[in-house]
Structure 1
Amino acid sequence: MIGNYLIGLREGLEAVLIVVLLIAYLGKTNRRHLIPRVMAGVAVAVAVSLGLGALLTFGPRGLTFQAQEIIGGSLSILAAGLVTWMIFWMAKTSKTLNKDLQQQVDKAADGSAWGLVIVGALSVGREGLETALFIWAAARTSGETWQPLLGAGLGIATAVLLGVLLSRGIVKIQLSKFFSATGVLLVIVAAGVLAYGVHDLQEAAVLPGLRTLAFDFSEQLPPSGVAATLLQGIFNFTPAMTVLQVSAWAAYIVPVMFLYLRAIRPHAPSIAVRQPAIGETGSAVAKGEKAAGEQLS
């Protein structure tokens, strides 16, 4: 549940900050009448994300066990790949995100009426689809439905609350440090989802080695016990894992963690510039746009 909360919090906060930046820029440039178009795009993104979640949850039930495991394993591996792409994308583009969004808004505002709807839908939809896929994969891993949904829902609710407080200057968070720290945790979570996807494909007889265990701590950590449940819920660690699962986990986490830590490693600037926290410039929405842009850098 904690891992799902983290996914909901991070993805939700990314989406909320993007919406804040879009709305703030429209207000700053005296185009507030275009805000409903952005919000319409956001609504479309939310609806599509919920639809994908429902399709993943209820769609495969009529399939054979092997087909379900093939689909589940493939989508779990895809979810791990999307999360990996997401954390590297944020590490790379956070410094120019504000400027890029402004350029998209300017271009869309000068075009058709659907332009800003598409900008809003694409900006938020990416996070929404990633969240739906990853939470579904986590639900398959844990064997529960309500706990992953509850965790993700609480994370998204926290993200929305933080977005409101940040834009009004009530709280201050160094977002670059926040995303860096959560990125490290998500690499660990994604490694577990990848390993579980490998196990699904082993159960479907697509991959070999289902009965070749790397370790079995079932006696020391009963699968239904609190410790095993927490490890599985947070890191997708199970008391018994195959050699291929452990190999996939290690082959993923070692290079990805190394590359990510190198990507977020701070570089000494030629001129020291203080990075203000969100909300430091005031409570107006237009000022929140400036502060959010500074914090993402």
Structure 2
Amino acid sequence: MLVPFLIMLREGIEAALIVGIVASYLRVTGRSAWMPAVWCGIILAVGLSFSVFVALHVASAEFPQRTQELFEAVVGLIAVCLLTAMVFWMVRASRSIKAELQHSVDAALASSDHQGLALVGMVFLAVAREGLESAFFLLATFEQNVGYGAPLGAALGLVCAAVFGIALYYGGARLNLRLFFRWTSILIIFVAAGLVATAVRSLHEAGLWNHLQGIAFDISGILPGDSTLGTVLGGLFGYHDTPTHGEVIAYLLYLIPALFLFLMAPTSPSPSKSKAARS
């Protein structure tokens, strides 16, 4: 439940941030009449993301066991790629996302022909990117979790993100986005590393990876995988009490360089530093 909540909270806040910037810019520039086009783009993007999720989830239920394991591995690896791209995109885009979105709105409304369609398309593409990332990650999560916890966590994350978006639009949000995205990005890197290890396990169960299958260590006597804490860590970071050498190597081969590159990436300067630099 916790992982879907955090992921959907972060993805939802990213989408709410984009929509909030666009909506606020339309309001302050006296173009609020175009808000229906913004809502149309949002609805289309959510519909596409939900349709992709449902279609893949339903299709996977019809697969035989080995194909099911292969499907889980592929979806997990796609989720890892999307989550990694999301983390590093936010590092880069956070410095200029507001100006870029405002420029995109101006460009979409600059032409006298098909202005509404251009604005719908701009918002649709921005929100659909977040939605499709969420769809693949949730699919990878739901394949590993049975019950109502994961869907409930995802729904709660979206609700909280929607509340943030409303507060942002009306000027009441005081969340430190730089710190929020930085710490959630670190968490997501660990989550993605767990997905990589889980994908290696699924590939073995599908009969496609039979190397490095010796047990690296056994801590089932200290922290069993089926204990409460073990279950939580398994859902968060892909914890396994008897991982194979291949799973441990895959985990570290992803985690170490990804975490290093993220921590070494330059962060956005604070407002005070920006003012000092301009003066």
Tell me, yes or no, if the aligned pair for 1:202 and 1:210 is still in contact at 8 Å. Answer: no
1:233 and 2:235 correspond: yes
User: Hey, what does 2:124 align to over in structure 1?
Assistant: 121
The number of residue pairs the alignment matches comes to 273
Q: Note the C-alpha offset of 1:18.
A: 0.6
1:135 is the counterpart of 2:138: yes
How far has the Cα of 1:78 moved from its partner? 1.0
Per-residue CA distance 1:43-68 (angstroms, 9 max, x = gap):
01111111122122211121221211
What is the match of residue 42 of structure 1?
A: 42
Q: Which letter does structure 2 place at the counterpart of 1:137?
A: A
Moved more, 265-274 or 9-18: 265-274
Corresponding residue number in structure 2 for 1:215:
217
Contact 2:76–2:195 (CA<8 Å) still a contact in 1?
A: yes
Q: Bigger CA drift: 67-76 or 209-218?
A: 209-218
**Amino acid in structure 1 at the alignment position of 2:72:** G
* Structure 2 contact 37–120 (Cα < 8 Å) conserved: yes
> What is the distance in 2 between the residues matched to 1:271 and 1:236?
40
Displacement of 1:119 in angstroms is 1.0
Moved more, 112-121 or 143-152: 143-152
Q: What's 1:89 paired with?
A: 89
Q: Which residue of 2 aligns with 1:2?
A: 2
Aligned with 1:213: secondary structure? Answer: coil
Q: Which residue of 2 aligns with 1:206?
A: 208
Equivalent residues of 1:22, 1:101 under 8 A apart: yes
Cα-to-partner distance string for 1:174-213 (whole Å, 9 max, x where unaligned)? 2111111111111011111111111111111111237422
- State whether residues 189 and 235 of structure 1, in contact with CA within 8 Å, keep that contact through their aligned partners in structure 2: yes
Distance in 1 between residues matched to 2:117 and 2:274, nearest whole Å: 42
Contact 2:13 2:161 in 1 (8 A): yes
* One-letter amino acid of the structure 2 residue matched with residue 243 of structure 1: H
Q: Which residue of 2 aligns with 1:254?
A: 256
Structure 1 range deviating more: 259-268 or 188-197 = 259-268
Which residue is equivalent to 1:279? Answer: none
Greater mean deviation of Cα atoms: 61-70 or 168-177: 168-177
The 1:182–1:270 alpha-carbon spacing in structure 2 relative to 1, beyond 3 Å, is closer
Please state how far the C-alpha of 1:21 moved relative to its aligned partner: 0.8
> Match of 2:208, as an amino acid?
V
AA matched with 2:121: I
Q: Identity of paired residues, percent? A: 35
Q: CA deviation at 1:153?
A: 1.3
Structure 2 distance, partners of 1:51, 1:216, is 41
Alignment of 1:58-207 (within 5 A): 58-109=58-109, 110=111, 111-112=113-114, 113-141=116-144, 143-207=145-209
Which amino acid in the other structure matches residue 212 of structure 1? Answer: G
Contact 1:11–1:127 (CA under 8 A) maintained in structure 2:
yes
CA 1:154–1:31 in structure 2 vs 1: closer, same or farther (change >3 Å)?
same
Structure 1 unaligned residues grouped into runs of 5+:
275-297
State the alpha-carbon separation in 1 of the partners of residues 7 and 129 from structure 2. Answer: 13
CA 1:216–1:47 in structure 2 vs 1: closer, same or farther (change >3 Å)?
Answer: same
Cα contact 2:41–2:121 (8 A) shared by 1: yes
What is the CA-CA distance between 1:130 and the residue it aligns to? 0.5
Tell me, yes or no, if the aligned pair for 1:44 and 1:121 is still in contact at 8 Å. Answer: yes
C-alpha spacing 1:243/1:43, structure 2 compared with 1 (3 Å): same
- The answer (yes or no) to whether the contact 2:9–2:158 under 8 Å persists in 1 is yes
Q: Hey, what's the Cα distance between the residues in 1 that align with 2:197 and 2:135?
A: 19
Amino acid at match of 1:158: C
Counterpart amino acid of 2:215?
L
Q: CA deviation at 1:125?
A: 0.7
Instruction: Give, in whole Å, the separation in 2 of the partners of 1:90 and 1:136.
Output: 22
- Shift, 1:273, TM fit: 3.5
| Cα distance in structure 2, aligned partners of 1:209 and 1:58 | 31
Cα separation, partners in 2 of 1:86 and 1:145, compared to 1, 3 Å: farther
Deviation at 1:264, TM superposition (A): 4.4
CA contact (8 A) 1:180 1:264 kept: no
Distance (Å, rounded) in 1 between the aligned partners of 2:273 and 2:159: 38
